[in-house]
Amino acid sequence: MLPRIKEVDTMMNAIEGINQIAQDMQAYLTDFRNTAGKNVIAVMHPVVPQEVIYAAGLHPIRLFPSIGEPISLAHTNLHIYTSSIFRAIWDQVLKGHYPNVDGVVLPESCETVTFFARGWKWHRPDDFVATLGVRFKKTENAINFFSKEIARLAKTMGDFSGKEVSADSLSGAIRVYNRNRELLRKVYDLRKDESPPISGVEAFKIMMVSFLMDKEENNQLLEQLLDELQNRKEKAKPKARLMVSGPCIVDGRLIETMESSGALVVADDTNTGSRSFWHAVDPNQDPLLALARGYSKVPCPFATSADDRFDYISRMVSEYGVNGVVFAVEKWCESEKMDFPYLEHAIDGKLGVPVTFVETEYLCDMAPIRTRIDGFVESITG
C-alpha cells in the first residue's frame, strides 16, 4: 500500500482523506508514480475502457485542467469556439503542467478531442498517443467493430508497456473496475435518502479522486467511506433535490453554487459523474466483447440518442426523488446543446419536473449562475 494512502487510512477518516487528495491531486500522483513505478496514461472521456490500460500494467487517469490559470497558449492552436475545458487542458499541456503523464488515449468523439492526437504527438513527441474509434449505434455490427478497436488498443498498450494484455489480465482488470463501479453506485444510493449523509460537493470530490487513484486503493477508500457514512449524523432535509446534467463538470464551485441556495444536488447525468460508472462489464463474456457492450451504454450525447438519454435521466429522477433538473452545459458543447430542447420538453412534459439551463465555461463567473439557481429553487419550493 502506498505511504500516502496508508496515511489517509490510518490517521484520517475517509472524507478527510478524499479532501486531502482533492486539494493537491498532482502531489498524490507524483507520490503514486514514484512509489508504484507505473507509467501514467490519461484519458479524456468515460467511453475509453480503462481496463485495457490497467491490464497492461499502466496507471490510467482522467485528465482535467487545474482550476485557476487563464487560457493563453491554447488560442494559437484551438479556435475560441471550442470547449473551454478542453482548451484549458490543451493550454496546460503546452505549458508542461502534466509532468506525471506519459501518454494519452483519445476517443474519436468531438472535433476538439480528435485534434488532440496530432497536436499531442507534435508537442510531446516522447509520449505514448493512441486513438480509439467509438460508435453511435448499438447494433451487433457496431459492438463487434468497437471490440476490434479495443483489441487494437490492447495490442498497442501491450507493446508500449512490455506486458501483453491477455484475456486473463483483462478479466482481472474488469473485476477490479466492476467493484469500483459497484462501490460508487453504493455511495450514490445513499443520496436517495430524504436527508442524504453526503452533499453534492462531497460526491463531486469523491468522483474526482476516484479518477486519479489506483482502483484497488480507491476501492479500499470507498469501502471505508461507506462504513463511516452509516454512522454519520443526519443532515437537515434539503430545500430542494436537484439533478445536474451536462458534459465535464470540473469546477466544484458550480456544485457549491447550486447548494448555496439550500438545495442539494442528489443525482447527476455528467461525464464526471454517473455516466462514468453506471454501466457494468459482464465478467462471464469474452473480455473484449464484454468491454464493448459495457462501454456502449455510457450515455454521452455523442455516443447515444436523446431518447436513450431521456430514459436514463427519467430513471434517475424517479429513484433519487429529484424535483428540479439543472442543465449546466458548457459553451460550445454542441452535442449537449442539441439534445437540450428535446430533453427539456420531455422532462417537463412527461415527468412533470421543472428544468432550467445555465451556460458554463472554464473559470466562469458564478454570480449570475447563483442568481439563476436561487430563482429556480424558489420556483420549485414556492
Q: Give a three-class secondary structure readout of the chain.
A: CCHHHHHHHHHCCHHHHHHHHHHCHHHHHHHHHHHHCCCEEEECCCCCCHHHHHHCCCEEEECCCCCCCCCCHHHHCCCCCCCHHHHHHHHHHHCCCCCCCCEEEEECCCHHHHHHHHHHHHHCCCCEEEEECCCCCCCHHHHHHHHHHHHHHHHHHHHHHCCCCCHHHHHHHHHHHHHHHHHHHHHHHHHHCCCCCCCHHHHHHHHHHHCCCCHHHHHHHHHHHHHHHCCCCCCCCCCCEEEEEECCCCCHHHHHHHHCCCCEEEEEEECCCHHHCCCCCCCCCCHHHHHHHHHCCCCCCCCCCHHHHHHHHHHHHHHCCCCEEEEEEECCCHHHHHHHHHHHHHHHHHHCCCEEEEEECCCCCCHHHHHHHHHHHHHHHC
Grid cell at residue 122: 507534435
CA–CA distance, 61 with 43 (Å, rounded to integer): 6
Q: Which one, of 270, 235, 254, 252, lies nearest residue 373 by Cα?
A: 254
pLDDT at site 89: 94
Residues forming a β-bridge with 367: none
Q: Is the dihedral of CA 112, 267, 180, 199 positive or negative?
A: positive
HSE-up of residue 339 (Cα within 13 Å, Cβ side):
25
Q: With beta carbons less than 8 A apart as the criterion, state whether 309 and 341 touch.
A: no
- Give pLDDT, residue 301: 87
Q: What local confidence, expressed as pLDDT, does residue 302 receive?
A: 81
- Give dist(CA 282, CA 175) in Å, integer: 9
Domains of the chain: 238-382 (3.40.50.11900)
> For position 115, what pLDDT does the model report?
79
127 touches 102 (CB < 8 A): yes
Q: pLDDT tens track of the chain, all 382 residues?
A: 333 444 444 447 999 999 999 999 989 999 999 999 999 999 989 999 999 999 999 999 999 999 888 999 998 888 888 889 999 999 999 999 999 999 999 998 777 787 788 899 999 999 999 999 987 778 899 999 999 999 999 999 999 999 999 999 999 999 999 999 999 999 999 999 999 999 999 999 999 999 999 999 999 999 999 999 988 887 889 999 999 999 999 999 999 999 999 999 999 999 999 999 999 999 999 999 999 999 999 998 888 889 999 999 999 999 999 999 999 999 888 889 999 999 999 999 999 999 999 999 999 999 999 999 999 999 998 7
Closest CA to 209 of 265, 268, 252: 252
List phi, psi (to 5°) of 287: -55, -40
Residue 11, burial from CB neighbour count under 10 angstroms (0-12, 13-18, 19+) = exposed
Torsion sign over Cα 38, 88, 209, 151: negative
- Most distant CA atoms of the chain, gap in Å: 62
Strands 324-330 and 355-360: parallel
CB 102 within 8 A of CB 39: yes
Range 121-129, long-range pairs (CB < 8 A, 24+ positions): 123/93, 123/94, 124/93, 127/101, 127/102, 127/103, 128/39, 128/41, 128/102, 128/103, 128/104, 128/160, 129/103, 129/104
Q: Which pLDDT belongs to residue 250?
A: 94
Cα gap 245→252, rounded to integer Å: 14
